[in-house]
Amino acid sequence: MFSIDSKKLTEFAIIAGTAVSCYYLMTMPSPDAIGANFDKKAQAKSDHNVKRILEDNPDLANNLKNLNTYEKKILADVFIPNSKSTRFKDIAGIDDILEDLYENVIIPLQEFGVDKKQLNKDLKERFGHLVENGLLEAPKGVLLYGPPGTGKSLTAKAVATECNAAFINISISTLLSSYYGESSKLVKALFTVADRIKPCVIFIDEIDSVFKTRSDTDHEVTSKMKSEFLSLIDGLETDGGILMMGATNRRTDIDEAFLRRMPKQYKIGLPDKEAREKILSLYIQNIPLENGLSIKLIAENTSGFSGSDLKEICRNAINNMVKEYRKLPSSKHKDIRPLTAEDFGLTDMPFFLD
């Protein structure tokens, strides 16, 4: 006779129950899951950004209605350029790259970016066919690559300011949220937010940390996020006023599929002597130097330094001088001393030419 073993039945029920719960936990994040990551501070920043965008562009009011939680989270990372934001004039020693970016990215983005109707009439009459083919439009993606501290992030930010575009600097860790299914929702939100507030530059720093050559060991969430990202880039209309920018120290490690979507690529290398002089001038042009010391001499003695290193030695030198100035009685405040080679740490260098 067929009989039911109650112990086995209980075991079966427990196993089935556990499997269903696991499946549910893996596939259905609780509606509050993102809420846990989206703290009050981020919420306030997001609301503040929406307010700022609307102050400058009241006609975007409709675009910024009915935002979902993921879009609100992305909006917390939006930067709206203001009069103090980094511009091209704040970057030295890479004039050729900035000029090329200006002509090939910024001007097309301004002319063809948001609304073709605004296109210069003369240009439209002469080159209308090229506009239709998309050949005069800005490239979809721009990659900046090179050693650390050479001004890649600075340049991406300045591109947004020069285009008067919003800047979304998204960190890979924000996108690679630990909740299953959440990463792709955030990636989608990144693109829908950019579309709502365009013109907009989406900047992904350290792209090699995610878009490195695909491997079988990729976590499922990472692979899904990557494919989602690539297909969303494909869906971008080049005349849509959204520009993707990426930066990396290791271009050779990046997935071919991603590189293909960043057709304009600029290598920003370590500055040569002339570029170092220009960077130093940017920071200490009007500051007196001791007899025998010049910007040229500092540039000659800082081979291998990045823009960031140069800024750092200028900062140290100025701090040394200001530290002493603070200790002086106010009657002596007018005697500001010039900066010395020692302030710049040059006397410690083996090749210091004096």
Ligand X SMILES: Nc1ncnc2c1ncn2[C@@H]1O[C@H](COP(=O)(O)OP(=O)(O)OP(=O)(O)O)[C@@H](O)[C@H]1O
Q: Interface residues with ligand X (CB under 6 A)?
A: 91-94, 148-154, 247, 249, 279, 282, 307-308, 311
Task: Quote the CA–CA distance of 7 and 311 in Å, as a whole number.
Answer: 74
Please tell me the distance from the alpha carbon of residue 194 to that of residue 78, in angstroms, as a whole number: 9
How many CB atoms are closer than 10 A to CB 71?
20
Beta carbons within 8 Å of 313's beta carbon, 6+ residues apart: 298, 302, 305, 344, 345
Question: Minimum distance between the CB of residue 210 and Mg ion, rounded to whole angstroms?
Answer: 15
Structural contact between residues 168 and 200, judged by C-beta atoms closer than 8 angstroms: yes
The residue (of 153 and 164) whose beta carbon lies closer to Mg ion is 153
Choices 84-92, 102-110, 149-157, 260-268; region in contact with Mg ion by CB under 5 A: 149-157
Q: What's the full length of the chain, in residues?
A: 354
Question: Which one of Mg ion, ligand X, none interacts with residue 81, CB within 5 to 8 A by kind?
Answer: none
Minimum CB distance to Mg ion, residue 113 (Å): 25
Which one, 136 or 170, has the nearer CB to ligand X?
170
164 binds, among Mg ion, ligand X, none (CB under 5 to 8 A by kind): none
Q: Which of 57, 153, 209, 265 binds Mg ion (CB under 5 A)?
A: 153
Q: Which does 269 bind (CB under 5 to 8 A by kind): ligand X, Mg ion, none?
A: none
Q: Output the smallest distance, CB 156 to ligand X, in A.
A: 8
- Residue 307 contact among ligand X, Mg ion, none, beta carbon within 5 to 8 Å by kind: ligand X
**Sign of the CA dihedral running 274, 275, 276, 277:** positive
By the 10 Å C-beta count (0-12 exposed, 13-18 middle, 19+ buried), 25 is classed as: exposed
Measured from the CB of residue 170, what is the shortest distance to Mg ion in angstroms? Answer: 13
Q: Which residue is nearest to Mg ion (CB)?
A: 153
Using CB distances below 5 to 8 A depending on partner kind, what does residue 150 bind out of Mg ion, ligand X, none? ligand X
User: Mind spelling out the 3-state secondary structure of 234-255?
Assistant: HHCCHHHCEEEEEEECCHHHEC
Residue 265 Cβ vs ligand X, minimum distance, rounded to whole Å: 14
* Token pair for 194: 């950019």
- As measured in angstroms, the least distance from the Cβ of 93 to ligand X is 5
* Distance of closest approach, residue 267 Cβ to Mg ion, in angstroms: 14
Write the CA distances from 318 to 6, 264, 298, 300, 325, integer angstroms.
Answer: 82, 38, 14, 20, 10
Residues 6+ apart with CB under 8 A from 111: 118, 119, 120, 123, 136
Question: Which residues is 102 bridged to in the sheet?
Answer: none
Task: Pick one of ligand X, Mg ion, none as the site partner of residue 166 (Cβ within 5 to 8 A by kind).
Answer: none
Comparing CB distances to Mg ion, the nearer of 244 and 284 is 244
The CB-nearest residue to ligand X is: 307
Site for Mg ion, rule CB under 5 A = 152-153
